[in-house]
């Protein structure tokens, strides 16, 4: 086994994975350091709980280390660790049985359809009424109200900026399923923010 004292932080992801699979512990440590903050943030957004997020972070990297020999190097390590972390986070939620959902009246079979939805017009610009921190808190709360499956897709696509294909791979679902869940998540957020700001026209999420 290679010495853990080697400085592996400067290598790219593929090289780190290759070295880690060859027994270089410092390479795996570098992978942990590179992605732990993003994985923790993702886990916290899904579980809505700091302690659970810390557990997910540890469990995800422990599982990755234990199954490192099964990882196919033609895929991205980050996508793989995201999939492990999302699965761990969703298991936490199932155990807690505190799934809070936002009902959607309109059925959406795939994300490829255009769904017309009427959005109310705000009396004034919400950015003039709320500080940036308040706006962020309102958005965070709206995201937390999503079903876990929808929340995971929204976080990976719109926050972590993974591609549709990478998100599908990370969650172990089809591309159409990702598109469908993402559209439902965006509609749910629009609905909640519309109610919050009592708006009637321009949509704050029109860019999504």
Closest C-alpha to 79, from 176, 168, 10 = 168
- How much is the pLDDT for 202? 46
Quick check: 201 pLDDT over 80? no
CB burial of residue 184 (10 Å; 0-12, 13-18, 19+): buried
Helix ranges restricted to H, the chain: 13-21, 25-47, 50-66, 77-96, 126-129, 132-144, 148-154, 164-171, 175-197
Cβ-based burial of 208 (10 A; exposed 0-12, middle 13-18, buried ≥19): middle
- CA distances 56 to 16, 36, 172, Å, are 22, 11, 18
Residue percentage of the chain with pLDDT more than 90 = 31
Q: Is the whole model's pTM more than 0.75, yes or no?
A: no
202 token code pair:
């321009």
Half-sphere exposure of 132 (CA within 13 A, CB side): 0
CATH number belonging to domain 13-96: 1.10.1740.10
Domain 102-208 adopts which CATH fold?
A: Arc Repressor Mutant, subunit A (1.10.10)
What residue ranges of the chain are covered by domains with CATH 1.10.10.10?
102-208
* Tokens coding 120: 């109310």
For residues 7-19, average pLDDT: 80
| pLDDT confidence of residue 7 | 54
* Per-residue pLDDT reduced to its tens digit, 95-110: 876 444 433 333 333 3
Q: Which of 37-46, 138-147, 185-194 has the highest mean pLDDT?
A: 37-46
CA angle, residues 184, 144, 77, in degrees to nearest 5: 80
Residue ranges, CATH 1.10.1740.10, the chain: 13-96
């Amino acid at each position: 086994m290679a010495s853990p004292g080697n400085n592996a932080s400067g290598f790219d992801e593929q090289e780190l994975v290759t070295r880690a699979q060859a027994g270089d512990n410092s390479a795996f440590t570098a992978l942990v350091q590179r992605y732990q903050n993003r994985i923790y943030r993702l886990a916290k957004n899904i579980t809505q709980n700091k302690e659970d997020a810390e557990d997910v972070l540890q469990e995800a990297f422990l599982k990755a280390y234990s199954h490192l020999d099964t990882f196919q190097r033609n895929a991205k390590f980050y996508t793989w660790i995201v999939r492990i972390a999302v699965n761990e986070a969703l298991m936490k939620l199932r155990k807690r049985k505190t799934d809070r959902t936002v009902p959607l009246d309109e059925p959406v079979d795939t994300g490829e359809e255009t769904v017309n939805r009427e959005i109310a017009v705000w009396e004034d610009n919400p950015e003039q009424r709320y500080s940036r921190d308040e706006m962020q808190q309102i958005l965070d709360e709206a995201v937390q109200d999503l079903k876990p499956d929808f929340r995971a897709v929204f976080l990976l696509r719109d926050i972590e900026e993974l591609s549709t294909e990478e998100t599908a791979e990370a969650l172990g679902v089809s591309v159409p399923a990702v598109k469908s869940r993402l559209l439902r998540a965006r509609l749910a957020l629009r609905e909640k923010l519309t109610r919050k700001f009592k708006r009637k026209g321009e949509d704050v999420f029109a860019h999504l």
